Structure 1
Amino acid sequence: MTDYFHWFDLLGIAVFAVSGTLAAWRNHMDGFGVIVLATVTAIGGGTLRDLILDVPVIWMNNNSYFFAIFAAAGATILLVRNRLTIPNNTLQIADAIGLAFFVIMGTQKALDHGTSTMVAIMLGTMSGVCGGMIRDVLCREIPMVFRGELYAFTCIFGGAVYTSLLALHIAPIYAMLAGMASLLLLRLAAIKWQLTIPVFSRNSQELNEP
């Protein structure tokens, strides 16, 4: 399973690097901006998770993460430069795929270090959303996690599916794939049909100040 974890980690890193590169392209950043945005998007959430777990940060002793970031960013730059248009939802789709990898991998890493199931799901969610939050803040945008469609809820849902299947003694690789698929499908459905969890009515009156 260690090999699976490593390759899933690299895939998640690469996909989030793609989303960071697309955000840099959309905001007309230069080459340095592309690398910075791709890197913080790819490793920001995992770095914060590892600091909280008090374990070595994932990329400190493994250059393969940076190779994955640079390769994904370079491939995305070539694609963008050779296409006239990029669909508006491409960034959201790339972000959703990155979430599917990172949330489940983050949840498993937290479980490996002795956390409870609930804490593991929260740390998995943090792994998925924090890199994108940093990306959006650097782009001076409202982070996706705070926008209308379901976002953090999909991460919690995917983590819950994964940990529930593990508790039922399903083989870890199948539980992992099921957790990723459930998260990704729910997030894509939220994007397509604008699924939300309404809290405040749009027609509610403003609070009267004293």
Structure 2
Amino acid sequence: MKRLMVSLFALVTAVLLTACSVPSAGGGSSGSRENHLGEPFEASMTLTLDRLEAQGKLSGNEDSWQAEFESPNTLSGVVLTFSNTDGTVTASYKGLTFSVPKSALPVKAMLLNLIAAAGENSRNEMLSGEEKDGILTVSGTLDSGGYLLSVDSSGLLSRFEMPDSKLTIVFTDTRLTGSSPALPSSEPVTVPATFSPPPAAA
């Protein structure tokens, strides 16, 4: 009897711990959305991590994700590239590549969590989660903690949160593209014609 009680207690504890580790959006109803998480995209982002706030652009495709920061000053102009093929993360500034600076390490870690969550949820044709005010939120867990991944009415990235890490990333102007992160805009690139001086007068 004592063994049975101990086993039941352990089971209940495990269930409670699991429930607590998965955050919930709350107040919504079940819903589903077409899944575009595995498709090339670009978006503006505002990343808040505790007292740090960073703004920039985020783009991604099947080969890599790329974050280009506009603020704060310690990150302005820094580009982080996350390879999906070999798992490496590289940093660059005005075309020069170097190791990820110390100021970018916390942001790098949180973006890796976002990429992992998006990859985890990109496998299904449809996304299922909690629907509220036109936003669908999917909850899950990573090794680093629970997360909430939200998409808009078109199934595009809208928000990513990890409450235990005090992380919130808000995405705006999200759109699908067919281009690589190095050229996030789908507009054609105009190459200037080579200038040729007029022939000298005879």
Name the TM tier (shorter chain).
under 0.3
More strand, by proportion: 2
More helix, by proportion: 1
- Give the TM-score taking structure 1 as reference length: 0.26
- Give the TM-score taking structure 2 as reference length: 0.26
Larger Rg: 2
